[in-house]
Structure 1
Amino acid sequence: MDSSDKSNEILKSTRKSLKHSLDKSKALGLSLERTGPRLDEIKQRLPSLEAAIRPILAQTDALDAVGGHINRAVVPAAAVLKVFDAIHGLEKSLSDPQSDLPGYLSVLKRLEEALRFLGDNCGMAIQWLDDIVEYLEDNRVADDRYIANLKKALKYLKELQSEENGNLDGGLLGVALDRLENEFRRLLTENSQPLPMANPVSGEEQASNSLAPPPIPVSVVQKLHAIIGRLIKNNRLDKCVSIYVQERSSTVRSSLQDLNLDYLEISVSEFNDVQSIEGYISQWGRHLEFAVKHLFEAEYNLCNDVFDRIGLEIWTGCFARIAAQAGILAFLQFGKTVTESRKDPIKMLKLLDIFSSLNKLRLDFNRLFGGAACSEIQNLTRDLIKRVIEGAADIFWELRLQVELQRKSPPPPDTSVPRLVSFITDYCNRLLGEDYKSLLTQVLVIHRSWKMEKFEERLLIDELLNIIREIEQNLESWSKACNDPVMPCLLLMNNHWHLYKHLKGTKLGIILGDSWLREQEQATERYLGTFMKESWGKLPGLLSREGLILFSGGRATARDLVKKRLKGFNEGFEEMYGRQSNWVIVEKDLRDRTCQRIVQAVVPVYRSYMQNYGALVEQDSNSNGKYVKHSAQSLEKLLGSLFQPKQMRFGSFKLRQQQASGKFENESVSVVGQYRSSPVTPATV
């Protein structure tokens, strides 16, 4: 074989070898391409395989001990799971508390027991599981990611078990307790009817005839007891008390709504004196008595019935909140508002009325509001009583000074009885009456005791007598200030007779004594005599008969004398009548007596004079009534009409006969203004 053939064979052999290698490479490439996904799968399985073979790599003693740890944790964990399943089984047994309260409470109690067991054992299981995780982590028996997942699960379990977020039952107990609270509220709502007010309290009749609010039936109270017991076991007493207070205080407020208590919200700025709210003060006493003796008394007993098993502190605190929210504080605040008003004599009477109302309820207040829970009510009540006593005492002891300060005021221009005189005499008699004497004495005794001073009843009497003496001195001062020389007589006559007539037979008159009363009567007669002498008694002297002897040739001279004297009489009469026609004598008997004295002094002299000498003037055609202006009858009528009281004289004070109580109230309106006008600052009591 030549060399060319040999070369060809080598090339063919090489070509064949290269082709074979290329085929093998392609086959290997295809095989590698098919193996790639399997490698990825193996790569993904490597961690789990590594975790699976970790125990094989761990030390033998660590592997031997892990089994015991696992067995100890599995037992409590299995118990927890079993109880958890039982709890959810109880959910189906929770009936409606309204339809079956005993059954509901029984299941609820089992649920509480199961939760306590679950909580106790859950803690033990968590502790053992903690130990396992710690052991696996310390001995590298398990994979890190596996241990991390265990830690995450344990953390969540611990949060469920904690007191703040206790939710091992999935919130089942909380829902069950909410339904029980709703049942507690329903029982109260359906059995708490307001006291029906067919007729809002009028006078004291309504309060005495009203019944207490209908009591909650014993069977309902027993249900409330059972519910309270379960709520206490679950730390829900505060919520239970809040529901009770809300429902019962709402019931009491509803009972009071028909009484129209809007006046309790009046502020000091809304009125200037107690006159404007005097009627409300009377209502206040009746309404307060009704509220305390009927409504709050019933609530006090009911609180005791419902919460007595828990303890005194709980039920008295519950009652205190009901009383405060239902309105007792508003009653006390109204009384305080009255004490802050400006001083005047009527205010003292109203303060005594308030003291009387509080004093009548003293035992009730001490019993109902005497506990530590009612400290706010006690403080407000003590403060109100202190303000009332100090305010009434201050006004009483200042009354004499206020009367004295009125001495500087001008006398009445009509010579009548000043409002101050009539007011003070009636006022002092009222203080000595059955309604106020004992109250005022008690107030003054307490007020003096606070100053460590002793009070005797004689001090009250002496002070009233001093006030009357101040009135007498005022009269003397006013009489000296009159701008007419005759006015003092009529002024003093008017007032001495008023004092005599209106104090005779009264308590104050008895204290002043018969001798003092006779002095007033005698002074009246004395000033009446002086009045007649200085005024109307001078008028008849103007009709002198001197020089009127009729003889032949003297008629013209006599006529001129008669004309002159009649003219003087007419001028004197008109001047005197003109002045005195604006004067007043208040008492009808004294007015009639005075007019009669004037008529007796003037008319007979005038009639006789006209009968004897009137013809001289009447025959003169040039007179034309210039000198004879009155007949005896017309003169008597004019004089008899003197000193009549004018309706609505001096503002709103009506100078006419009135009933004693009405007169006192009307006079007080104007005197109060005088009382305030004094320099003494009307400080708040």
Structure 2
Amino acid sequence: MFSSSYKYAVVQVYDHKLRMAEMQKLERLKAAKEVLRCSLEESKELAFRIGESGPRLERMSQRLALLETTMNAISTKWKLYEIKGPLDQAFGLSASIVDMFEVICSLEIALSSDLSSPGLLAYLTTVKYTEDALRFLTGYCKLAIPWLEDAQQILESNKSIADHWYLKNVTKCLLALEELQAMEERFKLRGGALMPALDKLESEFARLLLDNRSHPSVDTPPLPLPFPEPVLEKVQAIVERLGANDHLENCISVYVEVRSSNVRETLQALDLDYLEISLTELDSLQSLEDCIDQWGRHLEFAVTYVLEIEHRLCSEVFRNVGSDTSMDCFAKIAVQSGIQSFFKFGNSVARSKKEAIKLLKLLDIFAALNKLRSDFNRLFKGKSCAEIKNQTRDLIKKVVDGACDIFWELSLQVELQLPSSPPGDCGVPRLVTFVTDFCNQLLEDEHWKTLLQVAEIHHGWNHKSFSENLLSGEIHSIVIALERNLETWAGEYKDSTRSCLFMMNTNWYLGKYTRGTKLADIMGQEWLRGHEEYMEYYEAVYLNESWGRLPALLCNDDMAFDHVAANRALTEFTAAFDSMCKRQSNVVLCDKGLKWRTCELVLRAVVPPYKSYLESYVPSIEHKTGCRIDVKYTPESLQSMVSSLFQPKFGKLGNTKCTELVNKVNNVIANPISSTPAAA
């Protein structure tokens, strides 16, 4: 049917296919041979390493071999006994137990290698595989042991059919499985195979921390975490493995030591030596005013930027082992970094001498703490930060109590200055400049807002109602107490003229230098007008009882004809004028405007009558009598002498006695009310 050529072609195709199939089989055989050869070499290498793993692995291998042999021997007769069911279940796991043990042996060898050889991530994977294999081995043993125990119990309870050989070998199998079950625990104990691996991970953890230290800039606070993302992933993976093996203690210690050292170095750049100032060195709060201002800025930087970053980093590094560990680490870092030295400084200020100036500083401290309140509540939460929270609350309580104690005693402190003597130069007492400037500073928006918060908190602690009027009323009481002191001091001058000058000075100062201030708003416009009216009243009394009496000495009808009377009148006027100048030579008026006003009044009262006398009487008398009248002062020299009055007198060093009283200066508040004399 088919031609011979066609048949030949078919045969050729078939032979070709056979040859191709044989060649493919040959190639597969060669590949299989190569795989077997590699497997044989690996098996030899594995056997060599297992042989080097020590007597323990050898003993375990022997027991596994015994386990397998014994189970096989027992299985030949299991149908003869009632132990068939338990043994059947136990034998089902025996192969898995043997396989898992072999895997663990190979992993143990891999763990002994250098960490850098496979790389950190590969090494971590090996550690995890080892943990998983040990866990599976333990689980298999836990399943198999009860079944063998059931078989053992059956053999022991059926003496008539029990074969001593079977019972003995079942017992041996139980012992072998129990030892395998304990293998996981031994691996994790000191001296176990996992311990060197975990130690290597600890060392790598420390190296990564040290190599990736960064310091937040004092000028430009950083936003990102100090660890690059790849480094953070490695650190997290190490922590997870160490945590899974209850090996975090050393890891935490290293982390806290490195990061707290990093924070300390960062804060040292701020020059925080002032935080160590002792309580005895705080006697002068003025010298520490700049330090207290720095304290608020430095605390904000330490909390908002430095510790904020450490808190975030702790959360990221330890997020896989629980928030408690993260907070424990952060709390230790915060303590070791020196955050408590800020509280110590604040407590020193709060416990220092009770002075009015300290009130402003306590308000500054409270404002700084209050500004950071939400940050403190967020960062320092939980039991780990209990110590820091307690110290913060304790400082806030001291600040609030101290500020309120000082504020509510201010009017009393002003009253206690009453025994002081008034200024000898009739100038404005330092107490007046202090109280007015201090009250105005206290009434500044930021200080007043803070004082309201502090007072409201203090009233709340004492279960008392609170309103802003309470504080305004106390400010009013302070000023009224000051005015009572002024009235009393004015009466202590033996010379009514000096008493008037004193009241002119103080009323002018209170009227002029409080106008347009928050203090004037509290005291009211009527109070301001009252001081202006008082100043004018005492000004009139002063003029009438002093310079105003001099022109009367020149008014005598006999002077027009009597040379002696005219000369006597001029002499009396000159003597009275000299006496008045001498008595008022050390008087200082607090303001250029007041000085100009007073001099103008004196000149108007004295110079025109004197000039008129000289022009009207002296030439006429000299012409009629031919006798010259001795004139000591010309009107111009009289005017010059009056204009030179009420000036500050310069001492040896060129400083004026009352410079601080003439100018409205802020640093006058450096003197505490409790120790400020009334005299300038």
TM-score in terms of structure 1 length:
0.73
How far 1:355 moved relative to its partner?
0.9
Q: What CA distance in whole angstroms lies between the structure 2 residues aligned with 1:385 and 1:530?
A: 53
346-355 or 252-261, larger mean C-alpha shift: 252-261
How far 1:242 moved relative to its partner?
1.3
- Structure 2 unpaired stretches of 5+: 1-61, 70-97, 142-178
Aligned residue among 554, 560, 566 for 1:562:
566
Give CA deviations for 1:442-474 in whole Å, capped at 9, x if unaligned.
Answer: 111111111111111111111111111111110
Q: What CA distance in whole angstroms lies between the structure 1 residues aligned with 2:68 and 2:265?
A: 57
Evaluate the alpha carbon distance shift between residue 614 and residue 669 of structure 1 in structure 2; reply closer, same or farther with a 3 A threshold: farther
Q: What CA distance in whole angstroms lies between the structure 2 residues aligned with 1:427 and 1:614?
A: 57
Evaluate the alpha carbon distance shift between residue 363 and residue 646 of structure 1 in structure 2; reply closer, same or farther with a 3 A threshold: farther
- Map residues 169-208 of structure 1 onto 2, 5 A cutoff: 173-197=194-218, 206=219
The answer on whether the counterparts of 2:410 and 2:478 sit within 8 Å (CA) in structure 1 is yes
Q: Tell me whether 1:255 sits opposite 2:266 in the alignment.
A: yes
| Residue number in structure 1 paired with 2:635 | 632
| Residue number in structure 1 paired with 2:420 | 409
- Map residues 440-455 of structure 1 onto 2, 5 A cutoff: 440-455=451-466
Q: What CA distance in whole angstroms lies between the structure 1 residues aligned with 2:106 and 2:628?
A: 131
Q: Tell me whether 1:654 sits opposite 2:659 in the alignment.
A: yes
Aligned residue among 638, 645, 655 for 1:642:
645
- Map residues 257-656 of structure 1 onto 2, 5 A cutoff: 257-550=268-561, 558-615=562-619, 627-646=630-649, 654-655=659-660
SS at match of 1:333: helix
605-614 or 318-327, larger mean C-alpha shift: 605-614
Give CA deviations for 1:65-119 in whole Å, capped at 9, x if unaligned.
Answer: xxxxxx979847999999998677446533327x710222234446667888999
| Residue number in structure 2 paired with 1:246 | 257
The answer on whether the counterparts of 1:273 and 1:341 sit within 8 Å (CA) in structure 2 is no
How far 1:215 moved relative to its partner?
3.3
Partner AA of 2:666 in structure 1: F
- Structure 1 unpaired stretches of 5+: 1-70, 123-157, 198-205, 551-557, 678-685
Q: What CA distance in whole angstroms lies between the structure 2 residues aligned with 1:397 and 1:247?
A: 48
The answer on whether the counterparts of 2:430 and 2:676 sit within 8 Å (CA) in structure 1 is no
Give CA deviations for 1:555-606 in whole Å, capped at 9, x if unaligned.
Answer: xxx3322332222222211211111010111111111111000011111111
SS at match of 2:671: helix
Evaluate the alpha carbon distance shift between residue 415 and residue 292 of structure 1 in structure 2; reply closer, same or farther with a 3 A threshold: same
How far 1:440 moved relative to its partner?
0.9
Q: What CA distance in whole angstroms lies between the structure 2 residues aligned with 1:581 and 1:564?
A: 25
SS at match of 1:583: coil
| Residue number in structure 2 paired with 1:103 | 122
Evaluate the alpha carbon distance shift between residue 670 and residue 619 of structure 1 in structure 2; reply closer, same or farther with a 3 A threshold: farther
How far 1:281 moved relative to its partner?
0.7
Evaluate the alpha carbon distance shift between residue 373 and residue 167 of structure 1 in structure 2; reply closer, same or farther with a 3 A threshold: closer
Give CA deviations for 1:395-415 in whole Å, capped at 9, x if unaligned.
Answer: 000000000011110011111
How far 1:290 moved relative to its partner?
1.6
Evaluate the alpha carbon distance shift between residue 210 and residue 621 of structure 1 in structure 2; reply closer, same or farther with a 3 A threshold: farther
Q: What CA distance in whole angstroms lies between the structure 2 residues aligned with 1:277 and 1:653?
A: 25
Q: What CA distance in whole angstroms lies between the structure 2 residues aligned with 1:318 and 1:170?
A: 28
How far 1:272 moved relative to its partner?
0.5
The CA RMSD over aligned residues, in Å, is 3.7
The answer on whether the counterparts of 2:427 and 2:661 sit within 8 Å (CA) in structure 1 is no
Aligned residue among 664, 667, 676 for 2:666:
664
SS at match of 2:369: helix
Partner AA of 2:547 in structure 1: W
234-243 or 591-600, larger mean C-alpha shift: 234-243
SS at match of 1:435: helix
Partner AA of 1:362 in structure 2: R
The answer on whether the counterparts of 2:189 and 2:195 sit within 8 Å (CA) in structure 1 is no
| Residue number in structure 2 paired with 1:135 | none
How far 1:303 moved relative to its partner?
1.2
586-595 or 217-226, larger mean C-alpha shift: 217-226
Q: What CA distance in whole angstroms lies between the structure 1 residues aligned with 2:457 and 2:188?
A: 63
SS at match of 1:452: coil
Partner AA of 2:675 in structure 1: Q
The answer on whether the counterparts of 1:417 and 1:494 sit within 8 Å (CA) in structure 2 is yes
The answer on whether the counterparts of 2:111 and 2:123 sit within 8 Å (CA) in structure 1 is no
Q: What CA distance in whole angstroms lies between the structure 2 residues aligned with 1:348 and 1:458?
A: 19
Higher Rg: 1
| Residue number in structure 1 paired with 2:30 | none
Evaluate the alpha carbon distance shift between residue 407 and residue 656 of structure 1 in structure 2; reply closer, same or farther with a 3 A threshold: closer
Evaluate the alpha carbon distance shift between residue 73 and residue 95 of structure 1 in structure 2; reply closer, same or farther with a 3 A threshold: closer
The answer on whether the counterparts of 2:558 and 2:566 sit within 8 Å (CA) in structure 1 is no
Evaluate the alpha carbon distance shift between residue 165 and residue 114 of structure 1 in structure 2; reply closer, same or farther with a 3 A threshold: closer
How far 1:480 moved relative to its partner?
0.9
SS at match of 2:418: helix
The answer on whether the counterparts of 1:285 and 1:354 sit within 8 Å (CA) in structure 2 is yes
| Residue number in structure 2 paired with 1:133 | none
Q: What CA distance in whole angstroms lies between the structure 1 residues aligned with 2:673 and 2:122?
A: 72
The answer on whether the counterparts of 1:586 and 1:655 sit within 8 Å (CA) in structure 2 is no
How far 1:120 moved relative to its partner?
12
- Map residues 206-245 of structure 1 onto 2, 5 A cutoff: 206=219, 210-212=221-223, 214-245=225-256
Partner AA of 2:635 in structure 1: A
Partner AA of 1:356 in structure 2: A
Q: What CA distance in whole angstroms lies between the structure 1 residues aligned with 2:191 and 2:385?
A: 42
Evaluate the alpha carbon distance shift between residue 572 and residue 617 of structure 1 in structure 2; reply closer, same or farther with a 3 A threshold: farther
Give CA deviations for 1:619-645 in whole Å, capped at 9, x if unaligned.
Answer: 9999999x4221110110110121123
100-109 or 373-382, larger mean C-alpha shift: 100-109
Q: What CA distance in whole angstroms lies between the structure 1 residues aligned with 2:611 and 2:63?
A: 142
Partner AA of 2:305 in structure 1: H
571-580 or 404-413, larger mean C-alpha shift: 571-580
How far 1:433 moved relative to its partner?
2.1
Q: What CA distance in whole angstroms lies between the structure 2 residues aligned with 1:417 and 1:598?
A: 21
SS at match of 1:436: helix
Partner AA of 1:249 in structure 2: S
**Among the aligned pairs, what percent are the same residue?**
43
Q: What CA distance in whole angstroms lies between the structure 2 residues aligned with 1:358 and 1:644?
A: 47
Q: What CA distance in whole angstroms lies between the structure 2 residues aligned with 1:620 and 1:88?
A: 141
Evaluate the alpha carbon distance shift between residue 618 and residue 374 of structure 1 in structure 2; reply closer, same or farther with a 3 A threshold: farther
The answer on whether the counterparts of 1:428 and 1:464 sit within 8 Å (CA) in structure 2 is yes
Evaluate the alpha carbon distance shift between residue 95 and residue 316 of structure 1 in structure 2; reply closer, same or farther with a 3 A threshold: closer
Q: What CA distance in whole angstroms lies between the structure 1 residues aligned with 2:288 and 2:370?
A: 21
- Map residues 127-138 of structure 1 onto 2, 5 A cutoff: none
Q: What CA distance in whole angstroms lies between the structure 2 residues aligned with 1:288 and 1:447?
A: 24
Evaluate the alpha carbon distance shift between residue 405 and residue 620 of structure 1 in structure 2; reply closer, same or farther with a 3 A threshold: farther
How far 1:265 moved relative to its partner?
1.4
Evaluate the alpha carbon distance shift between residue 92 and residue 389 of structure 1 in structure 2; reply closer, same or farther with a 3 A threshold: closer
